Chains A and B, each alone.
Chain A
Amino acid sequence: MKNMIRRWSGTLGGLFLLLSVSCTEFIEVPLPDGQLTAEGIFEEPATAHAAMASVYAQLRDGGLLTGNPQGLSCLLGTYTDELDYYGSTQGAPWAFYSNALLPTSSEVAVLWNSSYQQIYAANAVLEGVEASASLPVADRRQLTGEALFVRAFLHAYLAQLYNGVPYVTTTDYRENAVARRLGATEVLEEAKADLLLAAELLPEAYVTSDRVRPNRYAARAVLARICLYLGQWDGAGNHASAVLNRTELYPFQEDLDGEFLADSPSTIWQFSPASGEANTREGATFIFGSGPPPLVALKPELVAAFGDGDLRKEKWIRAVTDGTDTWYHAFKYRQHQNGGAREHSVLLRQAEMYLIRAEARARGGDLIGAREDLDRIRNRAGLGPTTALTAEEMVAAIFAERQLELFTELGHRYFDLRRSGTIDTVLQQLKPGWESEDALFPIPETELGLNPNLVPQNPGY
Chain B
Amino acid sequence: MKNNLLFLSCMGISLCGFPAAAGERTHGRAGLECPKGLTALLDTFPLQTITITGTVRDAAGPLPGVTVRVKGNRTVTLTDSEGRYAIMAETGDVLLFSYVGYREYEVTVTTANIIDAILQEDATSLQEVTVNAGYYRVTDRERTGSIAKITSKEIGTQPVTNVLATMQGRMAGVNITQTTGVPGGSFDIQIRGLNSVRTGGNSPLYIVDGVPYAADAIGTGINSAVLPYAPSPLNSLNPEQVESIEVLKDADATAIYGSRGANGVVLITTKKGKAGATRYNVDVSTGMGSITRRIDLLDTAQYLAMREEAFRNDGIGEFPAQAYDVNGTWDRNRNTDWQRELLGQTAHITNAQLSMSGGTAQTQFLVGGSFNRQGTVYDGDFAYRKSNLHLQLGHASADQRFKASFSAGYTLQDNNQPRVDLMVEALRLAPNAPDLYDADGELNWEGSTWENPLRHYEGQYGATTRDLMANSTLSYLLLPGLELRSGFGYTTLRNAERTAAPSTMFDPAFGVTSAASSLIVSAADRSSWIAEPQLHWKGRLGKARLELLVGATFQSQGGSQLAQYAEGFSSNSLIRNIGAASNLFTVTSDNTEYRYQAFFGRANLIWDDRYILNLTGRRDGSSRFGPGKQFANFGAAGVAWLFSREALLKDSNVLSHGKLRGSYGVTGSDQIGDYQYLDTYAPSGVLYGGVMGLRPTRLFNPDFGWETNRKMEAALELGFLRDRIMLTAGWYRNTSGNQLAGIPLPGTTGFNIIQANLEATVQNRGLELTLQAVNMQGRDFKWTSSLNFTQERNKLVEFPGLETSTYRNTYAIGQPLNIRKMYHFTGVDPETGLYTFEDVNGDGRLTAAEDKKQVVDFTPAYYGGLHNDLRYGNWQLGFLFQFVRQQNFNSAVNFGAPGTSNQPVTALDRWQEPGDVSDHQRFTSGSNGAAMSAYNRYRDSDAAVSDASYVRLRNLSISYTLPATALKGVQCRMFVEGQNLLTFTKFEGADPEFKAAGYLPPLKVISAGMQFNF
Residues of A within 8 A of B (CB): 4-5, 8-9, 12, 15-16, 19, 23-24, 26-39, 41, 47, 49-51, 53-58, 60-61, 84-90, 94, 98-100, 102-104, 109, 112-113, 116-117, 119-121, 123-124, 165-166, 168, 171, 173, 176-177, 179, 208, 210, 212-213, 272, 274-278, 284, 287-295, 322, 336-339, 431-433, 435, 438, 444-452, 454-457, 460-461
Say whether, besides A89-B896, A288-B510, A8 and B476 are in contact (CB < 8 Å). Answer: yes
User: Do A338 and B582 touch (CB < 8 A)?
Assistant: yes
Nearest residue, chain B, Cβ from A455: B849
Judged by a CB distance under 8 angstroms, whether B585 is at the interface is yes
A39 to B568 alpha-carbon distance, docked (Å): 38
Given A33-B591, A100-B932, A293-B509, 10 new contacts (CB under 8 A): A32-B591, A36-B681, A54-B694, A57-B684, A121-B695, A123-B750, A179-B748, A288-B509, A446-B746, A449-B806
Select which of B315, B594, B688, B849 is within 8 A of A56 by beta carbon: B688
On chain B, the residues within 8 Å of A292 by CB distance are 321-322, 447-449, 509
Complex interface residues of chain B between 417 and 459 (CB less than 8 A to chain A): 428, 447-451
22 example contacts (A-B, Cβ-Cβ < 8 A) are as follows: A27-B595, A27-B622, A29-B675, A37-B679, A86-B448, A100-B933, A102-B936, A103-B848, A104-B936, A112-B747, A117-B750, A120-B749, A177-B745, A289-B508, A289-B510, A292-B448, A292-B449, A293-B448, A293-B509, A294-B507, A294-B509, A450-B745
A186 to B550 alpha-carbon distance, docked (Å): 66
Tell me what chain B mostly uses at the interface: helix, strand, loop, or mixed: mixed
On chain A, the residues within 8 Å of B745 by CB distance are 173, 176-177, 450
Query: Interface readout for B525-556 with A: 1 if CB under 8 Å, 0 if not?
Result: 00000000101000000000000000010100
User: Do B694 and A121 touch (CB < 8 A)?
Assistant: no
A112 to B932 alpha-carbon distance, docked (Å): 21
User: Do B929 and A433 touch (CB < 8 A)?
Assistant: yes
Say whether, besides A8-B484, A53-B688, A322 and B447 are in contact (CB < 8 Å). Answer: yes
User: Do A27 and B621 touch (CB < 8 A)?
Assistant: yes
Judged by a CB distance under 8 angstroms, whether B832 is at the interface is no
| Partner-binding segment picked from B147-155, B511-519, B632-640 | B511-519
User: Do B595 and A26 touch (CB < 8 A)?
Assistant: yes
For chain B, give the interface size range.
Answer: 35 or more
A36 to B680 alpha-carbon distance, docked (Å): 5
Most interface-central of A112, A117, A450 (chain B CB within 10 A): A450
Say whether, besides A28-B623, A278-B583, A290 and B511 are in contact (CB < 8 Å). Answer: yes
Nearest residue, chain A, Cβ from B513: A337
CB distance from B705 to the nearest CB of A (A): 14
User: Do B509 and A291 touch (CB < 8 A)?
Assistant: yes
On chain B, the residues within 8 Å of A94 by CB distance are 926
Select which of A29, A38, A88 is within 8 A of B696 by beta carbon: A38
Complex interface residues of chain B between 477 and 522 (CB less than 8 A to chain A): 478-479, 484, 506-513, 515-516
User: Do A50 and B691 touch (CB < 8 A)?
Assistant: yes
User: Do A5 and B478 touch (CB < 8 A)?
Assistant: yes
On chain A, the residues within 8 Å of B674 by CB distance are 29, 32
On chain B, the residues within 8 Å of A287 by CB distance are 510-511
Judged by a CB distance under 8 angstroms, whether B599 is at the interface is yes
Complex interface residues of chain B between 905 and 945 (CB less than 8 A to chain A): 926-929, 932-933, 936, 940
A292 to B683 alpha-carbon distance, docked (Å): 42
On chain B, the residues within 8 Å of A272 by CB distance are 687-690
CB distance from B582 to the nearest CB of A (A): 6
User: Do A447 and B748 touch (CB < 8 A)?
Assistant: yes
User: Do A452 and B693 touch (CB < 8 A)?
Assistant: no
User: Do A53 and B692 touch (CB < 8 A)?
Assistant: yes
Judged by a CB distance under 8 angstroms, whether B804 is at the interface is yes
On chain B, the residues within 8 Å of A55 by CB distance are 693
Say whether, besides A278-B583, A432-B927, A89 and B900 are in contact (CB < 8 Å). Answer: yes
On chain A, the residues within 8 Å of B751 by CB distance are 117, 120, 173
On chain A, the residues within 8 Å of B926 by CB distance are 89, 94, 98, 100
CB distance from B844 to the nearest CB of A (A): 12
CB distance from A334 to the nearest CB of B (A): 13
Say whether, besides A86-B448, A451-B746, A210 and B596 are in contact (CB < 8 Å). Answer: no
Complex interface residues of chain B between 595 and 628 (CB less than 8 A to chain A): 595-597, 599, 621-623
On chain B, the residues within 8 Å of A117 by CB distance are 747, 750-751
Judged by a CB distance under 8 angstroms, whether B316 is at the interface is yes
A23 to B509 alpha-carbon distance, docked (Å): 64
Judged by a CB distance under 8 angstroms, whether B857 is at the interface is no
Most interface-central of B507, B585, B696, B750 (chain A CB within 10 A): B750
Select which of B680, B686, B699 is within 8 A of A37 by beta carbon: B680
On chain A, the residues within 8 Å of B900 by CB distance are 89
Select which of B314, B509, B567, B675 is within 8 A of A433 by beta carbon: B314
A28 to B516 alpha-carbon distance, docked (Å): 46
User: Do A109 and B511 touch (CB < 8 A)?
Assistant: no
On chain A, the residues within 8 Å of B689 by CB distance are 53, 56, 208, 210, 212-213, 272
Judged by a CB distance under 8 angstroms, whether B590 is at the interface is yes
User: Do A54 and B695 touch (CB < 8 A)?
Assistant: yes
Judged by a CB distance under 8 angstroms, whether B717 is at the interface is no
CB distance from B502 to the nearest CB of A (A): 14
Say whether, besides A35-B697, A51-B681, A54-B684, A119 and B750 are in contact (CB < 8 Å). Answer: yes
Most interface-central of B450, B568, B674 (chain A CB within 10 A): B568
User: Do B929 and A438 touch (CB < 8 A)?
Assistant: yes
Nearest residue, chain A, Cβ from B701: A173
User: Do A32 and B675 touch (CB < 8 A)?
Assistant: yes
Say whether, besides A31-B680, A51-B694, A290-B508, A277 and B621 are in contact (CB < 8 Å). Answer: no
Nearest residue, chain B, Cβ from A59: B688
Nearest residue, chain B, Cβ from A55: B693
Judged by a CB distance under 8 angstroms, whether B111 is at the interface is no
Select which of B428, B510, B697, B747 is within 8 A of A109 by beta carbon: B747
On chain A, the residues within 8 Å of B809 by CB distance are 449-450
On chain B, the residues within 8 Å of A455 by CB distance are 849
A331 to B607 alpha-carbon distance, docked (Å): 89
CB distance from A173 to the nearest CB of B (A): 4
- Cβ-closest 8 pairs across A and B: A120-B750, A54-B693, A289-B511, A113-B747, A450-B746, A294-B507, A449-B809, A53-B688
A54 to B686 alpha-carbon distance, docked (Å): 7
On chain A, the residues within 8 Å of B594 by CB distance are 29
On chain A, the residues within 8 Å of B622 by CB distance are 27
Nearest residue, chain A, Cβ from B596: A27
On chain B, the residues within 8 Å of A38 by CB distance are 679-681, 696
Select which of B515, B552, B694, B808 is within 8 A of A47 by beta carbon: B694
User: Do A274 and B686 touch (CB < 8 A)?
Assistant: yes
On chain B, the residues within 8 Å of A23 by CB distance are 597, 621
Judged by a CB distance under 8 angstroms, whether B414 is at the interface is no
User: Do A24 and B927 touch (CB < 8 A)?
Assistant: no
A337 to B570 alpha-carbon distance, docked (Å): 13
On chain A, the residues within 8 Å of B690 by CB distance are 272, 276
Say whether, besides A109-B747, A449-B849, A457-B847, A35 and B516 are in contact (CB < 8 Å). Answer: no
CB distance from B501 to the nearest CB of A (A): 13
A339 to B513 alpha-carbon distance, docked (Å): 12
On chain B, the residues within 8 Å of A124 by CB distance are 696
User: Do B681 and A41 touch (CB < 8 A)?
Assistant: yes
CB distance from A306 to the nearest CB of B (A): 21
User: Do B314 and A177 touch (CB < 8 A)?
Assistant: no
Select which of A8, A27, A295, A448 is within 8 A of B849 by beta carbon: A448
CB distance from B151 to the nearest CB of A (A): 35
A267 to B585 alpha-carbon distance, docked (Å): 27
Judged by a CB distance under 8 angstroms, whether B854 is at the interface is no
A8 to B477 alpha-carbon distance, docked (Å): 10
Judged by a CB distance under 8 angstroms, whether B754 is at the interface is yes
A32 to B698 alpha-carbon distance, docked (Å): 14
A226 to B507 alpha-carbon distance, docked (Å): 40
CB distance from A90 to the nearest CB of B (A): 8
Nearest residue, chain B, Cβ from A451: B746
A290 to B508 alpha-carbon distance, docked (Å): 8
Nearest residue, chain A, Cβ from B847: A457
Nearest residue, chain A, Cβ from B926: A98
